[in-house]
Structure 1
């Protein structure tokens, strides 16, 4: 049973080879399993499931517009209202059901999705990238869809419009090298609530049991040592009739761990805006240390451009200096030369349950894969995902609009990745390594700027900025040469800003890298801030 790219033809063909299943029952349900629908939204009882076709929703929207314009004709002619004041569109429903606020425990919203990679090779085929590793962008879609399911379960029986406000962080906890030999579970629950917002934590874990998409799972089945990825989302609830915030059910933690998660999330949400301002140069100018760093980079390029690849004078103290081993290669590329672009029409097949806006998980997948392509083109190697920093969805992306994505390598840093002994990785003996149980390489930070154009009005809006971090091992070139047994000189990568604007982008990227290192040290309890975990 293939979840992401089901088609009626594939299901009918597959039904002939599956013993114990009646082909008629599979074909009967085929029309309900949409080709672009994430697994978490496919169940008939899923609150994220679409209830209408696009044509039905489109006709309803046109009717709604005509009725609203006729009702407010005088206000529109006088200028008191504009067409943009049309109430929030949500064809799936317009009534919230109830305004009552109740109490809910984290267990009430616990939900999960099973990805049976070990049990079903065709299921796995939809989640594999070109290099036989997990296609993280596909996982992002499932994460966001599952977070939506959790949000609606918490708000039940009320039916507000719920949207993804931000992705607070997605990060790897351990390396995943043998995806074909493991099943994966995605599970989570609400960990904090405000008046109209909620934080949802989802964990991706491996599982050796023989599982199917219909297997049962409890919170106790998720072992801490099996978790390889954690994601935190913030959702907000709005009233579809008034367009104002909607009061949701209160979360009441019942265990010590639930209370600890609640306090952590509450503190994070209190300081989130403050921390965001610290990393944004538009609010906080460069420090003396940062100004000196910019001046050194500028001076080096101006006085002796040929020495732009010598980083001992310009690198931050936390970086590993290849100068201790002069045989290492350092590839330098100007920031402006790393930029790549993507333009795409937003089609209704990627809409959310409210019919008229694009599903947030699809945007995560698109930005991730452009960032991945940017890092790969920059390093001429296979990047490994490390983390997605805090990201806010500033404006929704309507169906029928044009989405512009711009990816740039804004920061690089020489750093270590933790070894994975289970994959046969041995201790390295390089003198300048912080830890012999790690692999040296380059942390590549890619920023993706997202803009949407409304075709009717010709206006453009900033829809969000996504910052992804990837790791490329210094000896990664060796794995790209089939059958290679000879040693390949370790290679590091460096992006070089030139203009003042690029220097500021570099510093902002550096601030985010420092923030991530602090997060690693104090939240993930990694003793070495100069060490990362990649997929």
Structure 2
């Protein structure tokens, strides 16, 4: 069934990707968008985003060629690269044959504000693209859209200049509350630039779940805080596609007290990010006395677990939680510059692998909690091989004291087949554990680390692209008959390096707890 893609004011719906596949109707919009612009800020950022069907149809099927004289296909990209290499040039983007730059000016937050609507309640076909096996929201799809929206916001802020903009880091994606049945809600993803440096931008995005109809007019001020269920923060940097050096971006001009507070908060966050990364690193900060005691407990627990004739189903060695995936990077998932893979696609793939690790480990449908700060250390070129390696590196038990019949100590006999190995007396993570929160039930927080390595065919060298840290929550008692009920799941490190990974995960969990508290404080202001 071929559906139409509705997008941008004043633009009629157009048939979506006739030759490839169709996708349900969604809207991807920003303020003062006439729908006819062909500059960078009006284009999507990958071939698998909500605006892509329209854009792909326009650039591949339309008889109108670009000013450069070619259509934006991968074959054209290969031809353009050969032409540039023959001239001794190496370009980051074939979209721009000449760099379009302007004098740096000032832009307001409203000028970059953009939003994406996902009418799950109004259109079951849209919901079907975003639902997971448990009937909840498939977060990998949302992550891909978040990064695409953030890229769109970044290009609106830098317009009319057209630099190469890349995702430098994902500073945090955090779930405030769970959406159990996505068909009950219409969702709006919205955001804007909240801070700028010389060539960098911090972009804040939130996801709102609305039980009623979508608003006829969507602005930042009209989206209620109580509807927000997810927050995300991205850092983008601008580069000159020819010189590969940083390119200055327009300065952000806050106009009211809230915008100034967000600007200062982002400025403080950027300053604290490096310090926090240094404090969490065990390369420069060895284990504390308390952490050394935890390491000793883990060593003792691993020895006891190895001697058990029948290993408890809810306890696993860290090495046994490992899952891997290897993918060849095809041009269908390139970004708008066409030589590199879209960052949102990488987030989606790493999340799916992390979910596999957490689900296999907990024998359940785990819920996403957060994505910790992630830095993209190296780009992933089209035509390279991406290796992904995921392991459960940290676990902790919530509401354990209220569920003592299900708990046994290291030396106790297992009760109902559920043994819990205690490395520390209480959990360090104080997230949204209030009565209405999805973490109010007994269960396990599961932290999964996904390491990515890029292998280019031209050499044997493998480059680390980045590490993605996902946290999930698995309830102790599941109502779903299709999954198991392992009780409190526990990962047990054996080697010293694995124990260091566990301690690093614990430090990240403490940082997540502090972030959760800061959100609670700011929401009360």
- Could you state the TM-score of these two structures normalised by the residue count of structure 2? 0.80
Q: Distance in 2 between matches of 1:337 and 1:102?
A: 54
1:38 to 44, 49, 63: 49
Secondary structure of the structure 1 residue equivalent to 2:489: strand
CA root-mean-square deviation: 3.5
Matches within 5 A, 1:197-208: 197-208=200-211
Structure 1's 526 and 333: CA in aligned 2 closer, same or farther, altered over 3 A? farther
Q: Matches of 2:156 and 2:173 in 1, distance apart?
A: 22
Q: Would you say the 8 A contact 2:140–2:348 is kept in 1?
A: yes
Q: Assess if the C-alpha contact under 8 Å between 1:474 and 1:490 holds in 2.
A: yes
Unmatched tracts of structure 1, length 5 or more:
16-31, 69-85, 311-328, 418-427, 483-487, 528-535
Change (3 A) 1:490 1:355: closer
Helix, strand or coil at the partner of 1:341: strand
2: distance between equivalents of 1:10 and 1:355? 18
Tell whether 2:368 aligns with 1:385. Answer: yes
Aligned match of 1:425: none
Given the alignment of the two structures, is residue 290 of structure 1 paired with residue 291 of structure 2, yes or no? yes
Write the deviation string for residues 62-113 of structure 1: whole angstroms up to 9, x where unpaired. 1211221xxxxxxxxxxxxxxxxx6342001143323411011111100001
Instruction: Please state how far the C-alpha of 1:220 moved relative to its aligned partner.
Output: 2.5
Aligned equivalents of 2:195 and 2:45: distance in 1? 32
Partner of 1:100: 103
- Following the alignment from structure 1 to structure 2, what is the Cα–Cα distance between the partners of residues 173 and 413? 19
Asked whether the equivalents of residues 17 and 54 of structure 2 are also in contact (C-alpha less than 8 Å), the reply is no
Find the aligned partners of 2:486 and 2:85 in 1 and give their Cα distance.
Answer: 62
Task: Give the corresponding residue for 1:116.
Answer: 119
Residue 227 (structure 2) aligns with: 226
Tell me whether 1:8 sits opposite 2:18 in the alignment: yes
Aligned to 1:270: 271
User: 1:461-511: CA deviations, max 9, x gaps?
Assistant: 1000000000001112x32359xxxxx977101000001111111111111
Taking the TM superposition and a 5 Å limit, the aligned residue runs for 1:261-410 are: 261-302=262-303, 305-306=306-307, 331-410=314-393
- Confirm whether residue 180 of structure 1 aligns to residue 191 of structure 2: no
- CA drift at 1:241: 1.8
Of 123-132 and 224-233, more deviation after overlay is shown by: 123-132
Aligned partner of 1:129 in structure 2 is 132
Taking the aligned partners of 1:2 and 1:381, their CA distance within structure 2 comes to: 37
C-alpha distance in 1, partners of 2:97/2:354? 37
- Give the conservation status (yes or no) of the 8 Å contact 2:46–2:336: no
Deviations 1:153-177 (A, max 9, x none): 0001111110000000001011111
Unpaired stretches in structure 2, ≥5 consecutive residues = 7-14, 26-42, 61-65, 405-425
CA–CA distance in structure 1, aligned partners of residues 269 and 253 of structure 2: 18
**Match of residue 139, structure 1, among 124, 142, 149:** 142
Contact 2:135 2:180 in 1 (8 A): no
Residue 53 in structure 1 maps to residue 63 in structure 2:
no
Question: What is aligned with 1:254?
Answer: 255
Deviations 1:187-236 (A, max 9, x none): 00000000100000111101234349xx6422233110001111100000
Greater CA drift, 173-182 or 435-444? 435-444
- Which residue is equivalent to 1:479? 480
CA contact (8 A) 2:46 2:334 kept: no
Distance 1:190 1:493 in 2: 40
CA apart distance, 1:525:
3.4
Whether the aligned pair in 2 keeps the contact of 1:452 and 1:460 (CA below 8 Å) is: yes
The size of the alignment, in residue pairs, is 458
| Alignment correspondent of 2:29 | none
Instruction: Decide whether aligned partners of structure 1 residues 136 and 474 sit closer, same or farther in structure 2, where only a CA change above 3 A counts.
Output: same
Cα separation, 2, equivalents of 1:264 and 1:61: 42
Q: Is the 8 Å Cα contact of residues 95 and 240 (structure 1) preserved in structure 2?
A: no
- In structure 1, how many angstroms separate the alpha carbons of the residues matched to 2:4 and 2:397? 40
